[in-house]
A and B are shown apart, each in its own frame.
Chain A
């Protein structure tokens, strides 16, 4: 009974940590426009692998070992953004979009008139 309760408590802790990590990742992605690092070759091949943190993956693995927790694992997986096409051109275009956005910022900051002079 004690061992069962202990196992349940560990499982609950694990789920809590996985949920918090998933929420933290979602917050970070939302802040960055949900764009994964474009130069990472794993991104184009497997966007979910790039988004999931090692902690998340480990938690998902541990959870999936227990049949009772498989629904929660599915919920964690469902909270991740859907997979995009694995076309490498898409990854490069995303990277170009980020660079173009940076150039826009540079042009705004590179306008001497914007500072109103010295």
Chain B
């Protein structure tokens, strides 16, 4: 009876390992949501301490906290970039490079802040955390909007496949003597909406990727981001409408 007991134990061990590994996979992909752009209150205590009495210690604590908050956000952006299924390799590489250079710049600034002995210089350096890097007003929107724009291009590929399929179905229905007027109108509407969405999204990466914190501070990058976002909102609406057209076309052929 030793052999069956061993077999059962071996089975249980394998099953246990599977349960543990599947739990580990689920946990590994769960996003950490404790910090990042939503965590603007993360440094509220340090900010209050500076307000109550600015000193080298309070300024340094505030600066270190704000840098740590940005590191958390930049790490989240890195996860988004590397996990994106729609970013083109060149856009992904450009964005990864920007996140990396922002992190290295902030690392150098943290070293400077930690070693600073002048309160006036420390004030300037703390201000530089925001103005020299623009993590929340420039880098994060750039990553998100370029990712969204590349998503529109990826959707276009799927819509092209749908268009080919529905065109063939319409031709077959026509050959069988069916009235395909409505289906053709739906397909035309779908193709027009997709083309318009792609036209709106296509210029976004080239418009956003070169933007710098200095351009944001100078007032030119902000409007470019706003405009890109508005175009992406419109493109998303067009894709949703194209999706409905595809379904209507398919239904008309049944």
Residues of A within 8 A of B (CB): 2, 5-6, 8-10, 12-14, 16-17, 20-21, 24, 27-28, 31, 38, 87-89, 92-93, 95-97, 99-100, 102-112, 114-118
Q: Is the CB of B18 within 8 A of A103?
A: no
Contact partner of B236 (CB less than 8 A), chosen from A89, A104, A115, is A104
Q: CA–CA, A89 to B163, complex, Å?
A: 9
Residues of B within 8 A of A (CB): 1, 3-5, 7-8, 10-12, 14-15, 18-19, 22, 25-26, 37-38, 40, 80, 84-86, 129-131, 134-138, 140-141, 143-145, 147-148, 151-152, 154-155, 158-159, 161-162, 165-166, 222, 225-226, 228-229, 232-233, 235-236, 239-240, 243, 246-247, 250
Q: Tell me the dominant secondary structure on chain B's binding face.
A: helix
CB distance from A38 to the nearest CB of B (A): 8
> Given the complex of chains A and B, what is the CA–CA distance between A95 and B158 in angstroms?
7
* Chain A-chain B contacts (Cβ-Cβ < 8 Å), number: 161
> Do the beta carbons of A107 and B144 come within 8 Å of each other?
yes
- Name the residue on B nearest A94 (C-beta): B158
A105 to B239, CA, bound (A): 15
Q: Is the interface of A mostly helix, strand, loop or mixed?
A: helix
Q: Which listed residue (A13, A28, A88) contacts B26, Cβ 8 A?
A: A28
Nearest-CB residue, chain A, relative to B137: A112
